[in-house]
Structure 1
Amino acid sequence: MSVTVRVPTTFRTLTGGASEVEVEGSDVGQVLTALDAAHPGFKDRLLDGEGKLHRFVQLYVSDDDIRFREGLDTAVADGETLSIIPAIAGG
């Protein structure tokens, strides 16, 4: 299943500047594995040492926050979009 991953500006060094990339996967975890295989370094930036999503990163399948679905096991359908949203701090 082809999934479009929207890449935030801060991660585009990993994709050669691309704001969107296409990868295969039937759930978020598989999509992240495929993303890391195609563009090494993503998993290190998104997941902690235990394979859990870092607190400062949010992932959305279409408009749904995966934290309120099945987390990394959240299913993705062919043609859906996975958006990576890093937290922004300010003051």
Structure 2
Amino acid sequence: MIRLFNDEDVSKGKFDQLAIVESSPMSDYLENAPDSIFLREKGFIASELVYMLKIAGFLVENIWGGTAGSWNRKPLRMDKIELMVVSKKERKC
């Protein structure tokens, strides 16, 4: 599900646009979940993922766009929120 956030969501703490973090009570997703339990989901942009993989010793071979269940080798698209990274662990000599 793609969520679109606005300035009101930012002021209420539902979305942190600087950190790309969504926050919502678990009761939004599970019946009978206590409102005191919050779910925080962190998003990353492609360049952040490439950097994290690089410092972990991986070589990024390609990045493609995708949607859960539809993983094809297609370019990233502005209307999609998921991506697929193909990388391999670099050998240490």
TM-score between the two structures when normalised by the length of structure 1: 0.29
- Bigger relative CO (Cα 8 Å, ≥ 6 apart): 1
Structure with max Cα Rg = 2
Structure showing the higher strand proportion among its residues:
2
Structure showing the higher helix proportion among its residues:
1
